[in-house]
Amino acid sequence: MTPLIGITTTMRTPATARGPQVILNAGYVEAVERHGATAILLSPAHGQDSLGRMLDMVHGLVLSGGEDVDPARYGQPPHPALGTVTPERDEMEFAVLAGALERGLPVLAICRGVQLLNVALGGTLYQDLPSERPDSLIVHEQDAPIDQRWHAARVEPDSCLHGIFGASELFINSFHHQAIRNLAPSLRATVWAEDGLIEGVESMEHPWVVGVQWHPERGEAELAHDKRNPDRRLLWEFVNVARTRAQAVVG
């Protein structure tokens, strides 16, 4: 049974375009389809009824990376270093996440996705790490190419993510200037960077809801034959959980 994975997108209007364009890095699609799933793109251009029908079809949800979450969503004024916000995307992803949790869909939240997950469940964010955590020894917007890993992280031994990775230490990439500040009450932090920043979370209320601050879709293709690759293991596990759901629905 081929699982269908909904992946959230954003919208932009380039100067040369006649109207808004739906945007998604292809790596998200390639990462889930490499493990036997089929990607379904969810965009801010879709109406609420269409999004609901698509959620009824899919067997898992990926909240993708991208621009900053509007700080008004967690009751804060914008920081001077706040990046681009897209209210249409925020509205779509908050609604899609609520619908996915209501349906019991497995959710994998990546980079911006884990930030949005945290805000949606009652947490807050650092709006700009360089200015709000100036003493950190880690630069979280790496200078290295996107296919390289940047810093170490520690994994909680008795966590779902530890079971997936089979390791207590990781070496991960890092492409973000925002991150979780106050953790949402229903989330559990299970991965931390060397400077104490939260890098991975799991839901304590839903069966398979996982968020990571790094980009596993970028590291997953690295040594694709190596089953010890933590990013490959994470994406395989997510697709496998979605596949189990798809088989149960058919059964």
Task: Count the domains in the chain.
Answer: 1
Given this model, what pLDDT does residue 221 score?
54
Residue 225 a catalytic site member = no
pLDDT band of residue 120 (cuts 50, 70, 90) is: very high
Question: For residue range 68-115, what is the model confidence (pLDDT) as tens digits?
Answer: 999 999 999 999 999 999 999 999 999 999 999 999 999 999 999 999
Catalytic residue among 93, 199, 202, 217: 217
Given this model, what pLDDT does residue 228 score?
65
Given this model, what pLDDT does residue 226 score?
54
Given this model, what pLDDT does residue 139 score?
82
pLDDT at 58 over 90: yes
What is the average pLDDT score of the chain?
A: 93
pLDDT band of residue 249 (cuts 50, 70, 90) is: confident
Residue 140 a catalytic site member = no
Given this model, what pLDDT does residue 14 score?
77
Catalytic residue among 35, 59, 93, 111: 111
The whole domain housing 246 covers 4-250
Given this model, what pLDDT does residue 214 score?
95
Residue 101's nearest CA partner among 209, 249, 6 is: 209
Given this model, what pLDDT does residue 197 score?
96
Q: What is the CATH number of the domain that holds 181?
A: 3.40.50.880
Given this model, what pLDDT does residue 222 score?
56
pLDDT at 138 over 90: no
User: Cα dist. 9→71, 150, 210 in Å?
Assistant: 19, 26, 19
Q: Measure the CA–CA gap between 83 and 62, rounded to whole angstroms.
A: 22
Residue 141 a catalytic site member = no
Given this model, what pLDDT does residue 44 score?
97
Question: For residue range 157-176, what is the model confidence (pLDDT) as tens digits?
Answer: 999 999 999 999 999 988 88
What would the mean pLDDT of 46-72 be, rounded to a whole number?
98
pTM metric for this prediction = 0.95
pLDDT at 241 over 60: yes
pLDDT band of residue 20 (cuts 50, 70, 90) is: confident
- Residues with Cβ within 8 Å of 59's Cβ and at least 6 positions away in sequence, in order, are 3, 4, 5, 105, 106, 242, 243, 245, 246, 249
The answer to whether the beta carbons of residues 43 and 96 sit under 8 Å apart is: no
Question: For residue range 180-224, what is the model confidence (pLDDT) as tens digits?
Answer: 999 999 999 999 999 999 999 999 999 999 999 999 998 765 555
User: Cα dist. 3→27, 39, 105, 227, 246 in Å?
Assistant: 18, 9, 12, 21, 6
Catalytic residue among 176, 215, 220, 237: 215
H helices then E strands: how many in the chain?
8, 13
Q: pLDDT above 70 covers what percent of the chain?
A: 96
